[in-house]
Amino acid sequence: MSFTHARPNLFSYANKELEQDAFLCWLVEWADVHNRSEDEILHSAGLHLLNSLLNIHGVPPVKSPEIKIHRQWHHADVVIEVSGGIVLLVEDKVDSKEHKDQLRRYLRKVQEHYRGRIILPVFFKTGDQSNYREAEKDGYKLFLQRELLSVLDHGIGLGVTHPVYIDLRSHLWGKEDNVESFRRKPILEWPGKDVLWIGFFKSLQAAKLGLNWGYVPNASGGFWGAWWGFKKWRGHSVYLQISERTLCFKIAPAAGANHGEIGGLWKEALLEVASSYGTLRVKAPDRFRRGKSMTVAQSKQTDWMASGADGLLELEATISRLTEAERILTAALDC
């Protein structure tokens, strides 16, 4: 038996939030003016990260700061005191999302403790999530993977050679590459439960489809899904869902409704409208499963997702087909 070998990377193992906290604290500490003489290149790289965090709040760059760092301060991930009366509150995430009220509670605690100082809350994340509305609503500015990679690339340009720094940069570029792999892999080879679906859904978000996405666990192992186009039909919620390879027309009947009857009526309305469009192929599912939400009609991957002769995704044509699915759903509301 032969094995393939990649260069060992610390962050293949140290890939959780506490390890990311440690790197953030380590690099920001290098920004302290007293560390300039220890390693001028790492000092410059740390200063660039610190000023990048300040910049998202519109704060001018600092040149010779003194730094004091606190980890897990009253459960807040990282609190950074910067000379000049500035306090950065950093909530650090990898793949998990913020919990209910946690960001607001952390900010309130820091504001109470550091009265009279400028408090700058930052949502620092290297994974992906569907949206950041809650963090932004609570006053946090976003510092995401692309921003961190820009900072790390800048450090390489300065001449940073520290192996931990290089390992994190390599690890994050690897994650970015995996998410973006939907652009170079034929659509029929897209694996289930793979992060390339995240990249695809993000590209649909950028096209203003207005969808949300996430991972849906279930008894068969789960899938990546996206949801949009929510409407009301006869008092019931109807919407579109991508369940990886399948585009689904869904209904969530109101409480007390006869699910089988309501689902059947919505299916008839959709199929009648879809037949008049004639370009996007829509059919009833092989099996009708009753539940809180139900798939009453669907389109298979090769019908709703467009590809070229090379099998690669044609994004604009795919968006056009998904827009047609929205039109079908909207037209069926009058049935």
Q: Could you list the mean pLDDT of each consecutive 10-residue stretch along the chain, which spans 335 residues? A: 73 89 97 98 98 98 98 93 97 82 94 97 96 95 98 98 97 97 98 97 92 92 96 98 98 94 96 89 89 94 98 97 96 95
Instruction: Give 110-117's long-range contacts (Cβ < 8 A, gap of 24+).
Output: 110/73, 110/76, 110/79, 113/74, 114/81, 114/87, 116/85, 117/85, 117/86, 117/87
Q: Would you kindly state where each structural domain of the chain is located, as residue ranges?
A: 10-176, 185-332
H helix count then E strand count, the chain: 10, 10
User: Rounded to 5 degrees, what angle do the CA atoms 195, 12, 216 make?
Assistant: 30
Radius of gyration of the chain (CA): 24
Q: Pairing mode, if any, of strands 86-93 and 118-125?
A: parallel
CATH for the 10-176 domain, from 3.90.1750, 2.40.10, 3.40.1350, 3.10.620: 3.40.1350
pLDDT at 4: 59
How high is the pLDDT of residue 1? Answer: 54
Query: CA-to-CA distance for 206 and 245, rounded, in angstroms?
Result: 20
